[in-house]
Amino acid sequence: MSRTSLAIGLRVASLLIALAVARSAWAQDRADQAGPGVRRAATPSEASSAHLTLGRTYLDKGETDKAEAEFKAALESDPQNGIAYLELGEVRLIERRIPEAEQEFRQAVRVAPDFAPACAALADLLIQTERRAEGRQLLERAVKLDPDDWRSEYRLAVLLIEAGEAGSAAEMLDRVERLQPDFLPAREQSALAFVRRGDLKNATAQAEALIGKNPQAAEGHRIMALVLWKQGDHDGSLAECALALAADPDSTQMHLLQALELWQADRKKEARTAFVRAAKGPAGMKLATPDVFCRLLLCNARDISVVEDFLRKNRAALAPNPAP
């Protein structure tokens, strides 16, 4: 996944740190080379670029304080360096300082409006924080600026599906699948389109194909869990939820489906635990609203009353503990 992929986004920071530790020796070599580059820089632009190189080296090593200092030094040399703002935003994400990350990404877009990675990074953050309209506009700009940015095209397709624009989304997903045949999330979204339309036969076929391609991946099991829930096979759905969560423990969608299935099976305590786990994800407390819950589970008319009853009886599970 790319650095700007918040898809990616709020979970990528920890992965970057883990990867950085594994290649710390290589990163130190880069630091040794970059340091003299800063001293030799003849122009502010060259100095800014040298600070960026050194900052990325520290970021690769997980030394966020040093990386931050270098990115700020890059901006002191060149206040219009959009890449430096983008890198500072990544540091803020690693530190889980989301509002400040947004501020840095907005600055990157302001000083470099034609810089596609900055548009994509800000879009991802906005989407993760439920500001889809602005996020969509920025993703459209990122794709227009960089037609080879298939990750942004994939995320835009997901937004189009949610908005009911399945035709345009299908074209984008087809293109992404052709470019990246091993990128399972694109194939998962194609399968989800069948679930949304109530075409469970084709959704099942897609899920089986995904599981056959990679039995350990979450994508196929997520589709199968939703299909089995729609078909009323609650035990089978719970089993697929467990397989999906084994591969992707942070899947809000699967925690929610698991919570609902456990509740319907009269396993109340386990259901509340799963609901609380789901609330720790990006959607947070908004999971207590039926529209977010239903969108994540692809609910149809007959599911809504079940979801509303579940939420009415479990909202207290997300409430903060009373003060002593």
Query: Which domain CATH number covers 73?
Result: 1.25.40.10
Q: Provide the pLDDT for residue 90.
A: 92
Q: Provide the pLDDT for residue 268.
A: 95
Instruction: State yes or no: pLDDT of 266 exceeds 90.
Output: yes
Q: Provide the pLDDT for residue 29.
A: 40
Pairwise pLDDT comparison (22 vs 152), residue with the higher score: 152
- Going by pLDDT thresholds of 50, 70 and 90, the confidence category of residue 284 is low
Mean local confidence (pLDDT), 9-19 = 37
- Give pTM, 2 decimals: 0.68
Looking at the domain assignment, is residue 304 inside a domain?
no
% pLDDT > 70, the chain: 84
Does residue 54 sit in helix, strand or coil? helix
- Which amino acid would we find at residue 118? A
Q: Provide the pLDDT for residue 34.
A: 46
User: Taking the chain, what is the end-to-end CA distance rounded to the nearest angstrom?
Assistant: 45
Instruction: State yes or no: pLDDT of 111 exceeds 60.
Output: yes
Instruction: State yes or no: pLDDT of 316 exceeds 50.
Output: yes
Looking at the domain assignment, is residue 259 inside a domain?
no
Q: Are 207 and 223 in contact (CB under 8 A)?
A: yes
Q: Are 249 and 214 in contact (CB under 8 A)?
A: no
Helix ranges (H only) for 180-267 are 184-196, 200-213, 218-230, 234-247, 252-264
Domain count, the chain: 1
Looking at the domain assignment, is residue 80 inside a domain?
yes
> CA–CA separation, 166 vs 170, rounded Å?
6
Query: 41-93: per-residue pLDDT in tens?
Result: 558 788 888 888 998 998 888 898 998 899 999 999 889 999 999 999 999 99
Of 184, 181, 119, 191, the residue nearest 156 (C-alpha): 119
Q: Provide the pLDDT for residue 320.
A: 59
Q: Provide the pLDDT for residue 182.
A: 87
Looking at the domain assignment, is residue 249 inside a domain?
no
Looking at the domain assignment, is residue 95 inside a domain?
yes
> Which range is least confidently modeled, 135-149, 212-226, 292-306?
292-306
Of 148, 145, 144, 124, the residue nearest 136 (C-alpha): 124
Looking at the domain assignment, is residue 45 inside a domain?
yes
Q: Are 207 and 224 in contact (CB under 8 A)?
A: yes
Looking at the domain assignment, is residue 309 inside a domain?
no
Mean local confidence (pLDDT), 267-290 = 85
Rama region for 251: left / alpha / beta (φ>0; ψ in -120 to 50; rest): beta
Instruction: State yes or no: pLDDT of 16 exceeds 60.
Output: no
Pairwise pLDDT comparison (25 vs 170), residue with the higher score: 170
Chain centroid offset of residue 247 CA: 16
Instruction: State yes or no: pLDDT of 22 exceeds 70.
Output: no
Looking at the domain assignment, is residue 123 inside a domain?
no
Non-local CB neighbours of 286 within 8 Å, separated by 6+ positions:
130, 292
- Going by pLDDT thresholds of 50, 70 and 90, the confidence category of residue 321 is low
Q: Provide the pLDDT for residue 21.
A: 32
Q: Provide the pLDDT for residue 49.
A: 87
Which residues form the domain of 97?
1-112
